[in-house]
Amino acid sequence: MSQLMGFKNKIIAITRPLERAEAAVKIVETNGGVPLVVPTLELEAYPSESLMDLCYNAKNLDWLIFTSPASLESLFHYCEDFKEKLNPDCQVAVIGPRTGRVLNEYGLKSDLIPEDYTAEGLLEEFKKIDLQGIRIGVPRTFKARDVLPEGLKKMGATVYLAEAYKSTHPKDTSQVKLLVDNIINRKVDAITFTSPLTVTNLFEIAGDKQDQLIESLKEGEILVAAIGPITQKPLNELKIKSITPAKYTVEDMLQELMAKMDE
């Protein structure tokens, strides 16, 4: 890691779900900052009919793609014997190393991790593989973009989409509304986003303070960091400038944020 001054008592807002915030909190604290964890979305595991169908059809799959730890955890929670049911020749792709580590915890290994940790990155890797007639299972939230399943279908694959979890607004939005007030009153130094929904949910929950929130973030006094270009897109649409790392990980995003603060 580069030798940076660190966060120097700066308050860094973290908007990802509480159960996913541990790594970010540790990095911020280790570098002298004050983490302010305010999830703008909640992940709710969901035993949908499509997820149960995927469990039943595990023996017929040629590939399985996990785009988040949440999809893994939900599948193995509601289909405890999934590993035993899975076609032994089935290969597994994950969107990034963190999802790969969670996969290992369930006793499976990843056969493919793209260099670019996005749906587009996965598609680039699958272009190297003949997918004609290949059966691919994709557990995910149905709020996810359709880039991946549609791209796989165009390559000739049969895609089994399964709703593994729901991404929702927090049941209690009071902390998010307090964060909105703190941003408007310049009481935070930076805010980080790790998915498009962490962005859009913040502005939806802001309600009648949405315009004030947008203007406060446009001014640039509070630094805004996005984990990658997909997360950055809704910020760009609002003309809010944001920092994004070359490698789409939480650690790289926070390193980039520290570098900006050091300028």
- Report the pLDDT value the prediction gives residue 18, as an integer from 0 to 100: 87
Contact status, residue 111 vs residue 81, Cβ threshold 8 Å: no
Average pLDDT (192-213) is 97
- Report the pLDDT value the prediction gives residue 263, as an integer from 0 to 100: 73
Of the ranges 4-18, 199-213, 214-228, which one carries the lowest mean pLDDT score? Answer: 4-18
Q: E-strand spans in 53-200?
A: 63-66, 91-94, 135-140, 158-163, 165-168, 190-193
- Cα gap 137→254, rounded to integer Å: 33
- Cα gap 135→81, rounded to integer Å: 20
- Report the pLDDT value the prediction gives residue 81, as an integer from 0 to 100: 94
Q: E-strand spans in 10-134?
A: 11-14, 34-37, 42-45, 63-66, 91-94
- Cα gap 238→39, rounded to integer Å: 21
The matching CATH number, chosen from 3.40.30.10, 3.40.630.30, 3.40.50.1000, 3.40.50.10090, for 11-41+171-262 is 3.40.50.10090
- Cα gap 79→39, rounded to integer Å: 28
Which class is 44-167 in CATH? Answer: alpha beta
| Domain residue limits, the chain | 11-41+171-262, 44-167
Strand order in the sheet with 11-14: 34-37, 11-14, 190-193, 223-226
Contact status, residue 152 vs residue 126, Cβ threshold 8 Å: yes
Give yes or no on whether 11-41+171-262 and 44-167 have one common fold. yes
Structure tokens at 150: 């549609």
Q: Residue 205 CB: number of other CB atoms within 10 A?
A: 21
Q: If pLDDT is split at 50, 70 and 90, which confidence band does 195 have? A: very high
- Cα gap 175→179, rounded to integer Å: 6
* Residue 89 dihedral angles phi and psi, to the nearest 5°: -95, 0
Contact status, residue 125 vs residue 152, Cβ threshold 8 Å: no
**For residue range 112-156, what is the model confidence (pLDDT) as tens digits?**
999 999 999 999 999 999 999 999 999 998 888 899 999 999 999
Distances (CA, A) of 93 to 60, 114, 121, 137, 236: 16, 8, 11, 10, 30
- Report the pLDDT value the prediction gives residue 77, as an integer from 0 to 100: 95
Closest CA to 96 of 112, 72, 120: 112
Structure tokens at 196: 């498009």
Structure tokens at 15: 């908007």
What's the whole-model pTM score?
0.84
